């Protein structure tokens, strides 16, 4: 049975007497146009190995299975596993792993299943762990071509914001260090069952093959970014000086800012990613 509409979704839910688990962020997609938009934005084709996070009852998985060479879907809720074997029984290119995505060694799976070649990640994410999932994928250096995901609209805005806007922050910089973000579509609550309280958006993050920003110390760059946005209202000098794990005096930061021709009173939210990288490289000397 083809999912992706309210009628068939309700039929599956009733057949299995399935209870939605709020704690797992379960809001299933029931809109075919949105599903088609996601598949087309992800540019899934028959060469692709796709990793899906949180297949739910398998709605998007069906679309992925039809378009990709192979799909691997990781689902935490054991009650969904028998449902998935039913709704995906027509496809022989899908495998389901009953596990917590944050505990899975994805690099190992990609190595085994796709010979270490880059994969596409496509998902309607559980919103309560959007940031750890995305940052985990980037930081663990899993070979990735692109990540096309449904997220809370506000989070999509943060991912693609630049300096001087209210949404600009540590997440914007971290995402933009690894990938080029592009918001594909805004999606209202009535495209899901049950309806979430927040608006959603589909965002595609195309991973850079070679990072355009070069730093001598990646760890330091991310510590500086966190320090700068930890207390947004503080000047960069004060934010960095007080941040645990960083051993820079106010004077050292002042000197670096002077070298960069930035005012001593500058706040983190005014700096571009390139400027954070420059600051990191100066302080790393």
Contacting ligand SAM (CB under 6 A), which of 24, 91, 138, 182?
A: 24
Q: Which stretch binds ligand SAM (CB under 6 A): 70-78, 88-96, 177-185, 208-216?
A: 70-78
Name the closest residue to ligand SAM (Cβ). 54
Q: Is the CB of 39 or the CB of 277 nearer to ligand SAM?
A: 39
CA separation for the pair 27, 255 (Å, rounded) = 50
CA separation for the pair 74, 27 (Å, rounded) = 16
Cis omega before residue 194 (within 30°)? yes
Q: Is the CB of 54 or the CB of 181 nearer to ligand SAM?
A: 54
**Nearest distance in Å: CB 214, ligand SAM:** 33
Closest CA to 21 of 91, 78, 90, 96: 78
Query: Running DSSP on this structure, what letter comes out for residue 131?
Result: H
* x/- letters, 147..186, toward ligand SAM (CB under 6 A): ----------------------------------------
The answer to whether 39 contacts ligand SAM (rule: CB under 6 A) is: no
Provide the token pair at 19: 């209870």
∠247-249-255 over CA atoms, to 5°? 120
The answer to whether 56 contacts ligand SAM (rule: CB under 6 A) is: yes
- Give strand pairing partners of 183: 203
Q: Is the CB of 34 or the CB of 144 nearer to ligand SAM?
A: 34
The answer to whether 25 contacts ligand SAM (rule: CB under 6 A) is: yes
Q: Is the CB of 56 or the CB of 169 nearer to ligand SAM?
A: 56
67 marked among binding-site residues: no
Contacting ligand SAM (CB under 6 A), which of 12, 29, 159, 173?
A: 29
**Nearest distance in Å: CB 253, ligand SAM:** 38
Q: Is the CB of 129 or the CB of 283 nearer to ligand SAM?
A: 129
Residues 100/129, Cβ–Cβ less than 8 Å:
no
Site for ligand SAM in 121-140 (CB under 6 A): 124, 126, 129
Contacting ligand SAM (CB under 6 A), which of 31, 48, 70, 77?
A: 77
Closest CA to 60 of 4, 126, 121: 4
Provide the token pair at 272: 């571009």
Contacting ligand SAM (CB under 6 A), which of 18, 44, 50, 54?
A: 54
Residues 119/107, Cβ–Cβ less than 8 Å:
no
Q: Is the CB of 41 or the CB of 236 nearer to ligand SAM?
A: 41
From residue 102, give the alpha-carbon distance in Å to each of 45, 126, 135, 188: 27, 12, 11, 27
Neighbours of 153 (CB within 10 A): 18
The answer to whether 100 contacts ligand SAM (rule: CB under 6 A) is: yes
Residues 6+ apart with CB under 8 A from 85: 96
CA separation for the pair 80, 138 (Å, rounded) = 28
Known binding-site positions for S-adenosyl-L-methionine? 27, 29, 54, 75, 100, 124
Interface residues with ligand SAM (CB under 6 A)? Answer: 24-29, 53-56, 59-60, 74-77, 100-102, 124, 126, 129
């Amino acid at each position: 049975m083809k999912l992706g509409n309210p009628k068939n979704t309700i039929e599956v839910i009733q057949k299995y007497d399935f209870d939605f688990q709020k704690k797992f962020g379960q809001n299933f997609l029931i809109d075919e146009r949105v599903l088609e938009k996601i598949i087309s934005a992800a540019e899934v084709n028959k060469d692709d190995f796709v990793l899906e996070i949180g297949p739910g009852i398998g709605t998007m998985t069906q679309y992925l299975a039809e378009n990709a060479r192979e799909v691997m879907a990781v689902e935490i809720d054991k009650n969904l596993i028998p449902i998935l074997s039913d709704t995906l029984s027509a496809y022989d290119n899908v495998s389901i792993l009953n596990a917590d995505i944050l505990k899975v060694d994805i690099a190992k799976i990609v190595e085994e299943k796709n010979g270490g070649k880059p994969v596409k990640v496509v998902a309607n994410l559980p919103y309560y762990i959007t940031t750890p999932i995305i940052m985990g994928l980037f930081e663990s250096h899993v070979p990735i071509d692109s990540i096309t995901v449904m997220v809370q609209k506000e989070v999509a805005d943060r991912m693609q914001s630049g300096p001087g806007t209210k949404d600009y922050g540590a997440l914007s910089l971290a995402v933009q260090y690894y990938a080029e973000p592009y918001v594909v579509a805004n999606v209202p609550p009535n495209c899901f069952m049950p309806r979430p309280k927040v608006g959603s958006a589909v965002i595609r993050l195309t991973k850079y093959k070679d990072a355009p920003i070069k730093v001598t110390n990646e760890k330091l760059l991310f510590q500086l970014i966190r320090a700068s946005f930890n207390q947004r209202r503080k000047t960069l000098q004060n934010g960095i000086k007080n941040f645990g794990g960083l051993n820079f005096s106010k004077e050292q930061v002042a000197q670096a800012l002077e070298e960069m021709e930035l005012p001593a009173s500058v706040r983190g939210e005014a700096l571009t990613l390139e400027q954070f990288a420059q600051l990191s490289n100066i302080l790393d000397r």
